[in-house]
Every structure is written in structure tokens, then in C-alpha cells.
Chain A
């Protein structure tokens, strides 16, 4: 399908890339600041302000690391799927968020999502060992679902690196991301059914019975800190990817001034 006026289209694509780059440049330091403040506050509260449980000592504090990691791993996947879907939807339409840029944002999110998924498993294992005696338990449906989510992130990252042409890679990975999105509830449901099948009931290692208000707000603060970190890191990666992909275009000359030395 031919697009009309290729010259004009590429000029507006340049503008959009430039605008996106400028947005990222301005936003990233803010996100780092927010991440630093909320991170320091959250860690202080998690490690010192919340009182320890008489029985379990300090180990329960892992919850302030594990839950943010799990929530981020899922939230990042949702964002990735949103940008992938928007990239596919807006491909032939004039929308404010360009199709290419949406795909680049989606691929900028993937490694961070995989990292948080791994951290969720890691902190879960380190919570499980003192609490339940083994590094890995199969009867926690959420933990098993996180493992499968890690496999899905691995598939997305592998497919992107396997397809040479960036545009084709974008679209293929976008399709895969959306298929994976549909499967996440299916996988979670099937794993939960599987745990009830094998022991008659389903319990979760990772959900504490009740949370005192102080603990709850500390948890939210830690989640917020991770979200700010994610935004800072993903937007930095977004900027890097933009430069790598469109290095030969015109807009970087306006964005990055020449300097001496």
C-alpha cells in the first residue's frame, strides 16, 4: 500500500521522533529524582520503621521487595502490551503517538520487565527458604505464574533479536506480546487449578494475611519507587533505541548540538 507524499511523511516522522526524544530528555531526570526520594523513604520505612513480627524476625521484610517486583513484572507487561497494541492499531492512521515510536517504547520496556520478573522469583525463593524450608515451592500459584511469565519475556526478547528487519520485528513481537497477554489469565487460572488439584486447597506464600496500615503504606511507597525507576530506565532505553534506529535521520542534528572536544 503506497503512502502519499513520502517526503512530507518522513518530515512529520522526524518531528514526532524529535518530540518524543525531547520528552524523554526532560522526563527522565524527574523520574530518577522521584525514584530516589521514594526509594530511600520506602527502604527506610521497610527496614526500620515497620516493627518486626515477634515470630519471624526480619525476614518478613522481604515482602517489601517481593511484592513490588511482582507487581512491576505484571504492570510492565501490561504497558508493553498496550504499546504493542497501539503500535499495531495506529500503523496506518494518523495518531498522536506514532506507530514506530509505540513499538520502540514496547521494546524498551521488555528487559526491565524481565528483570523484575527474575527479581520476583529471586526474592520469593529467599522468602521461601527461611519460611518453608525450600528454595522453590510449586504450590504457590503466583510464584509458578511468575516463572511462566519469565519464559514469556524470554520468548519476546528472543523473537525480537531473531528477526533482522526492525519493522518486521516490531510487528511480529507485538503480535506475540498480545497473544501472551491473553494467555496470562489462562495460565494463572490453570496453575491455580493445578495447585488445588494436588493438595485440595490453594494457599499463597506471597500474600500476607493482614497488613497493618503502616506496612500497607510502606508497600505502596516501595511499589511507587519501583514504578519511577521503571519509567526512568525505560525512557532512557527508549532514547537509546531511537538513536540507534534513526541515527541517519535528520532529527538528531537538531536535538544533539555539536560540542567541542
Chain B
């Protein structure tokens, strides 16, 4: 197992970072879509002051 830790370290960081990137992007997309759906509804609340989740 001794040296395999390097392989696992490489794999896990790569997987985690790629998953994190995707997760952040999809979360941003969802919040943008919510905002735009509200606008389409002509919601009185969505006067443009809301900002999507960063």
C-alpha cells in the first residue's frame, strides 16, 4: 500500500476538484434559473435587486 497512497492522492484531489467545479456551476445555474423564472412571472419581488448565489 505504501506507494499507492500517491496514486490515491492524485485521484482523489482530481475527482474532488472536478466535482466541486461542477457542483458550483450547477448551483449557480439553478439560482440563475430561479431568478429568471421569477422575472418571467413578473413577480413584484424580483425587481432586480436579488443576486444569484455566488
By a beta-carbon cutoff of 8 Å, the part of chain A in contact with chain B is 57-59, 61-62, 65-66, 69, 111-112, 115, 118-119, 122-123, 126-127, 129-130, 229, 232-233, 236-237, 239-240, 243-244, 247-248, 252-253, 256-259
Report if B44 contacts A (CB, 8 A): no
Q: Which residue of B lies closest to A239 (CB)?
A: B29
- How many A-B contacts if CB must be within 8 Å? 83
From residue 23 to 44 of chain B, which have CB atoms closer than 8 A to chain A?
25-26, 28-29, 32-33, 35-37, 39-42
A-B contacts, 22 of them at CB < 8 A, read A58-B4, A59-B3, A59-B4, A59-B7, A61-B7, A65-B14, A112-B21, A115-B21, A118-B17, A119-B14, A119-B17, A122-B10, A123-B10, A127-B6, A127-B10, A130-B6, A229-B18, A233-B22, A236-B26, A240-B25, A247-B36, A252-B36
Question: Residue A115 contacts which of B11, B18, B28 (CB distance < 8 angstroms)?
Answer: B18
By a beta-carbon cutoff of 8 Å, the part of chain B in contact with chain A is 3-4, 6-7, 9-11, 13-14, 17-18, 21-22, 25-26, 28-29, 32-33, 35-37, 39-42, 48, 52
Question: What 6 pairs across the A-B complex have the smallest Cβ distances?
Answer: A258-B40, A258-B41, A126-B10, A123-B10, A256-B36, A126-B6
Nearest CB on A from B21, distance (A): 6
Question: Residue A65 contacts which of B10, B33, B41, B52 (CB distance < 8 angstroms)?
Answer: B10
Q: Are B40 and A130 in touch, CB under 8 angstroms?
A: no
The docked-state distance in angstroms from the alpha carbon of A248 to that of B11 is 42
Q: Chain B binding site: helix, strand, loop or mixed by DSSP?
A: helix
Q: Which residue of A lies closest to B11 (CB)?
A: A65
Q: Are A129 and B6 in touch, CB under 8 angstroms?
A: yes
Nearest CB on A from B14, distance (A): 5
Q: Are A233 and B33 in touch, CB under 8 angstroms?
A: no
Nearest CB on B from A5, distance (A): 27
Q: Are B40 and A256 in touch, CB under 8 angstroms?
A: yes
Q: Which residues of A contact B32 (CB under 8 A)?
A: 240, 243-244
Q: Are B7 and A62 in touch, CB under 8 angstroms?
A: yes
Q: Which residue of B lies closest to A252 (CB)?
A: B36
Q: Which residues of B contact A236 (CB under 8 A)?
A: 22, 25-26, 29
